[in-house]
Amino acid sequence: MGVLSYIVDGSAENFSRLVLENSRRGPVAVNFWSPRAGPCLVLMPRLVRVAQEYGGRILLVMMNTDEYGELAARLEIRALPLVKIFRGGEEVDSLQGVRSEPELRAFFGKYVAGPDEVAGAYVRGDVAQAARLAARTALERPNDPDAALRVARLLVLDKRPGEAFGLLDALPPKVREQGEIAMLHAHLALVVAALADEATTPVASEAEALFREAAVAASRDDYVGACERLVACAACDPVFRQGLALRAAHALAALPMAREARGRVEALLAGRS
């Protein structure tokens, strides 16, 4: 094993680090098997295929009980094959015998959301459930910015822009300012600012006032006016919210708009660069 970083061989020596410590960060499945037991050889490729579907959101550890009998005895392994799930440093579930791939998916699915579950909830129109499942994935993969991006998109679809913005705004700056995350973060900043303006939230500075005006203009599909105010905001305070004004202007430029309006927005941005 060990070809993939999330499908590895375990031993008595590394069990504590590999299984118990990792289970404090996410679910760990341990497959107790023996090369002398035919059912184990039937189950193993199924386990590997299902683990691959989860793409690292669950760690699969292979434990050969012929080599680590003392550990197997300590963990009360009496019949094979046996799969145990560990979370938070403790065993939380187990599955005995040869099982089909759908059964394995259902077993793993209790502890980590698979891509089919998120997509299925979305297709059914249950955006809130899809967002919850995607959020669970994001929590289990804190270093995966794509997971956070998926959650943010689903929150937007569920008409929760403030939560989506808060999620992206909490990302490390280097992550928040990359690619699609930067575009969505900037767009949501405008949406949240427009909502704040409607709620007559106090404005702290001239730059903030210009940003709010841009947000209101964008909400009315006045992209040229929004871009003018964003450029003015950047001129007023070049470091306003770590350059958010210009990122928001570029996000607006990516939206569908009339050719004349696009030309004026691009000219404004070109003049600023």
Per-residue 3-state assignment (H helix, E strand, C coil) for the chain: CCCCCCEEECCCCCHHHHHHHHHHCCCEEEEEECCCCHHHHHHHHHHHHHHHHCCCCCEEEEEECCCCHHHHHHCCCCCCCEEEEEECCEEEEEEECCCCHHHHHHHHHCCCCCHHHHHHHHHCCCHHHHHHHHHHHHHHCCCCHHHHHHHHHHHHHCCCHHHHHHHHHCCCHHHHCCHHHHHHHHHHHHHHHHHHHHCCCCCCCHHHHHHHHHHHHHHCCCHHHHHHHHHHHHHHCCCHHHCHHHHHHHHHHCCCCCHHHHHHHHHHHHHHC
77 and 152 co-located in one domain? no
One domain, residues 103 and 120: no
Residue 262 identity (one-letter amino acid): R
Q: Are residues 104 and 123 in the same domain?
A: no
Residues 188 and 258 in one domain: yes
pLDDT tens-digit profile of 16-50?
999 999 888 788 999 999 999 999 999 999 999 99
pTM: 0.51
pLDDT tier for residue 125 given thresholds of 50, 70 and 90 = confident
Tell me, yes or no, whether 11 and 105 share the same domain: yes
In this structure, the answer to whether residues 72 and 16 fall within a common structural domain is: yes
* CATH number of the domain where residue 89 is located: 3.40.30.10
Range of the domain at 125: 113-159
Q: Does residue 2 lie within any of the structural domains?
A: no
The answer to whether residue 173 is domain-embedded is: no
Give the per-residue pLDDT at 201. 63
Residue 165 placed within a domain = no
Same-domain check for residues 24 and 100:
yes
Same domain for 74 and 52:
yes
Among 96, 128, 159, where does a domain finish? 159
5-9, 28-32, 129-133 — most confident range: 28-32
Selected residue with higher pLDDT from 115 and 70: 70
The full length of the chain comes to 273
Is the residue at 166 inside a domain?
A: no
Report the domain count for the chain: 3
CB 195 within 8 A of CB 161: yes
Task: Let me know whether 11 and 51 are in one domain.
Answer: yes
On whether residue 228 sits in a domain, the answer given is yes
Beta-bridged to residue 61, according to DSSP, are 8, 30
165 or 256: whose pLDDT is higher? 165
Asked if 220 and 155 sit in the same domain, the reply is: no
Q: Residue 120 has what pLDDT?
A: 64
pLDDT tens readout for residues 52-67: 887 777 899 999 998 8
Q: 38 and 62: one domain?
A: yes
Residues 148 and 97 in one domain: no
